[in-house]
Amino acid sequence: MGAAGIKANKRKSQIRQAILHTIIGVLLFMMLYPLAMAFWNVFKSDLTYMTSRWYPTFPLRTSNIPVAFRATKGYMLNTVIVAATGPTAMLFISSLAAFTFSKMNFPGRRILFAVVLALMMVPGVLTLVPTFILYKSFGLNNNLLALILPIATGGCVFGVFLLTAFFTGLPKDLFESAKIDGAGDFLCFLRIALPLCMPIIGTLLIMQLVGVWNDYLWPMVIMTDTEKMTISAGLVLSFSSQYKTNYPVTFAGYLIASSPLILIFIAANRFYIEGLISSSIKM
């Protein structure tokens, strides 16, 4: 191939790269611009929003944030309570079950594990009506327990799958040495297995927190009292209808609602990635 051919191939490569970068730039713009728009509209008055919603304006109006906070603080408190209890119970149950499946032998272990994994294939909407009937028969509608218990029980399936793969890859010598020193199964789980899987625990915790924060359907079904709803359902059902003509306050509510998740992910980003890498290596 002569110099002219090399030059032509280089030019084609540059054109392909330019097209690829253009496509990526357009996709990034389409993803980031709505977020930026939602952010700068927080600091507008209602009149300013109607005339200049597509670009930021000055001076910034910060009074929308206290108004939105007063309207959302009850929903935020409910969400924090559910997020602090439900995922914690789920992680303890799933880690204990995963340790049992991976390190203990009992009749029907493989069949039971296959049944647990089969539950991953069942869509949540399929069990929505039976679950509602069950919780209502227990008198748990309009009770935060109706939001906590489904997380503690239903969220275990994926956690069991992920943690079982991790625990199976741990050396048996660790647990045999501990048992020689007199440690029981639960102590081996508590002192050896659990500390080693903390990155995966962190990954599952972040995923569950995001699920709790974004859960809209189940609180809308089980709760009729709007004061006991979590943030997603509360924003849509009560907050948005109350401020449906004041979009800047509505955007401020969305900003307040999403801020805790953003801060948690920034603080725990390293553990989240480590957990994903650890689980993939063990699998």
* Residue 119 CB burial class (10 angstroms; 0-12, 13-18, ≥19): middle
pLDDT tens profile 104-133: 887 888 888 888 888 878 777 788 888 888
* 167-174: average pLDDT: 79
Q: Which residues of 209-233 are buried (b: 16+ CB within 10 A; e: fewer)?
A: beebbebbebbbbbbeebebbbbbb
Determine the pLDDT at residue 276.
56
For the chain, give the percent of residues with pLDDT over 90: 3
Closest CA to 86 of 98, 75, 94: 94
pLDDT tens profile 220-256: 888 888 788 888 888 877 676 666 667 888 888 888 8
* 175-202: average pLDDT: 79
Closest CA to 64 of 264, 234, 253: 253
* 13-35: average pLDDT: 88
pLDDT tens profile 247-280: 888 888 888 888 888 887 777 666 666 655 555 5
* 78-98: average pLDDT: 89
Tokens of 28: 């990034």
Whole-angstrom distance, CA of residue 35 vs CA of residue 37: 5
Question: In which region does residue 77 sit, left (phi positive, over 0), alpha (psi from -120 to 50) or beta (all else)?
Answer: alpha
Across the chain, mean pLDDT equals 81
Task: Just give the CATH number of 64-282.
Answer: 1.10.3720.10
The domain ranges of the chain are: 3-52, 64-282
* 168-184: average pLDDT: 77
Which residues 6+ apart lie within 8 Å of 246 measured at CB? Answer: 46
Determine the pLDDT at residue 274.
60
pLDDT band per the 50, 70, 90 thresholds, residue 23 = very high
